[in-house]
Amino acid sequence: MTSSNNMLSRRNWLGFITTASIFATGTKVFGAPAPKAAASSGIYNIRDFGAQGDGVTLDTKAIQSAINTCAQAQGGMVLIPAGIFVTGTLELKSNVTLHIAAQGKILGTGDGKQYYAAEAIPTTGEWTMGDGNVGLIFAANAENISIEGKGTIDGQGVLFKSAVKGEVPPAGISGNKRPHHLLFYKCKNLSVKDIFLTNSAYHSVRVCVCKEVKLDGIRIHSRVIHNNDGFHFISSEHVHVSNCDVKCQDDACALFGSNKYVTITNCSFSTRWSVFRFGGGYSENITVSGCLIYETYGCPIKMRCDHLSHFENISFSNIIMQGVTGPVSIGLGPQRPQPGEVLPKPGIVKNISFNHIRATVVKPLPLTESLQDSKYNAGEMFSCIILNGMDEGFLENISFDDVHITFPGGGTAEQAAVRDVPKVASEYYVIGVPPAHGIFARNVKGLTMNNVRLQTQTPDLRPAMVLDHVKDAALNGCSITGVDEVVRCIDVQDVLFQAPRVLSPSKIFMQVEGMANRNIKIEGGDLSKVTTPLAGAWKEIVKLRD
């Protein structure tokens, strides 16, 4: 093999330097205009199309021209080089990669007239959720598209916020006319990687009816307007999210409509409201693993299943939650039923698992770096895990394995005395202060708990667990705290406690209420800190064996 084959020739070396320089800066090299080199290499530098990048000039036409030219040439890369490029709505097209260099920034203009609705994206139907069809960058019916690079997309969202409610904001548009950072509809083979998304005017990444989606290494920081959501997935398939950091104001990772074959791994999230929020549709075969959730004051895992919904085969594992409220809420049934309303057949929630989770629950505080006021409800101040079915609706096969949660405590005897918990499946706090400080489970069939530890930082007069109309439950090796009651059972059937351990002095281990209790067993464990193991009018139906 000759030396010429082992090293770059002088001509090739100069060509390499030229291409690299163009790629990084978009400037002319050795006096030669960049367009020819860029076009021949499949790289379309937006400066070659007239973009100024001075942070003042509106560069929408130049950037769109580069995208159009790249698409017409069967695809390639559109380069956003160093500079600040002000723009309105841009449409990304098939086979185009938008690369934002490390010192490059796409800056959404503060002139609302420069944004337009995407006609190809409908505003009615299941997937829309009433959130508009305007994007700073959007793609519809496209395939093989990418947005990548270490650069920034800044939506200047604060300009879309009114100083006084009802007034027109500085940008001149509000509501659903505001642009999302990124909006995709019916796209296939979509990739977004490494970019920084900040100060969105609406949601950051909205993925609707898409297939084969990869989101990796994205940073989102948007806390300038009340519905700064992070990721929104609606009726999409084969979605994979990894290595992302999200700090937002509203839902951090919402899954609405019918999503399936979704993985979310190795990400961190912080928000005022929920992180993983499920609502509507038929969602199945979804895993969330290896994630960190911190400073989240709106229930990290929240699922709302109405009569048209079906949630099945969803797993949450290896998750750390630090400084959260909630931390899990599943509601099955109507959100806010009206008196006398004829309720439809309930939806389905089954095969939901929570494994290897450590959580510290707190009383909520103002969200750091947020421009929004934080107001909290009583149910957020005294939160717990809520599994909330009602009437004919039963959650099925819900499991907790190796789950340790510390709660703030402070619950009162008045709160513990509540028996008539409202039958609503809206926000987790709408039922008011739950009567348990650890788990409130109503209408659950097939509840499994292994190595679950529920404890409080300060005494709480509410029981650790309230099991209300729970059937077929096995609770093994649970370590729990209590003061007056540890566990309250209301009309439960086929419930087995094995090796329970009470962590603090308590008056009663189990309070039994209702006339439909059947086959309750307690085997082994350590109840030495309990004064009375069993209490209630129906305590005799419980079999207690050392």
Higher-scoring residue by pLDDT: 338, 36: 338
Q: What is the pLDDT of residues 362-405, one digit of tens each?
A: 998 888 888 877 788 888 888 899 999 988 889 999 999 999 99
Q: What is the mean pLDDT of the chain?
A: 89
The predicted-structure confidence for 136-147, as pLDDT tens digits, reads as follows: 999 999 999 999
Rounded distance, CA 361 to CA 364, Å? 9
Q: What average pLDDT does this structure show over 223-233?
A: 92
Q: What is the pLDDT of residue 376?
A: 82
What confidence score (pLDDT) does residue 29 get?
34
pLDDT at residue 286 greater than cutoff 60: yes
Percent of the chain residues topping a pLDDT of 90: 72
Residue with tokens 């729990």: 480
What mean pLDDT do residues 507-518 have? Answer: 94
Which two structure tokens, joined as six digits, stand for 398? 């819900």
Backbone angles phi, psi at 416, to 5 degrees: -70, -25
Rg (CA), the chain: 27
In sequence order, what are the residues at sequence separation of 6 or more whose Cβ sits closer than 8 angstroms to the Cβ of residue 7?
Answer: none
> Does residue 5 surpass a pLDDT of 50?
no
- Lowest mean pLDDT of 337-351, 368-382, 503-517, name the range: 337-351
The answer for residues whose C-beta is within 8 angstroms of residue 466's C-beta and 6 or more apart is 434, 435, 436, 439, 440, 441, 442, 487, 488, 490
Alpha helices in 345-387 (DSSP H): 378-381
CA distance 195 to 220: 9
Tell me the backbone φ, ψ of residue 154, rounded to 5 degrees: -115, 120
* Banded model confidence at residue 324, pLDDT cuts 50, 70, 90: very high
Res 85 pLDDT > 80: yes
Q: What is the pLDDT of residues 211-223, one digit of tens each?
A: 999 999 999 999 9
User: Given phi > 0 = left and psi -120 to 50 = alpha, else beta, which region is 498?
Assistant: beta
Residues with Cβ within 8 Å of residue 12, at least 6 apart in sequence: none
Q: What is the pTM of this model?
A: 0.89
Q: For the chain, what are the domain ranges?
A: 42-250, 300-546
pLDDT by residue (tens digit) across 438-493?
999 999 999 999 999 999 999 999 999 999 999 999 999 999 998 999 999 999 99
User: Any idea which fold 42-250 has?
Assistant: Pectate Lyase C-like (2.160.20)
DSSP annotation string for 67-110 = HHHHHHTT-EEEEE-SEEEEES-EE--TTEEEEE-TTEEEEE-S
3-state secondary structure at position 61: helix
Residue 31 has pLDDT above 60, yes or no: no
Mean pLDDT for 71-87 is 96
Asked if 255 contacts 278 with a C-beta cutoff of 8 angstroms, the reply is yes
HSE of 317, CA atoms in CB hemisphere, 13 A: 11
Residue 255 has pLDDT above 80, yes or no: yes
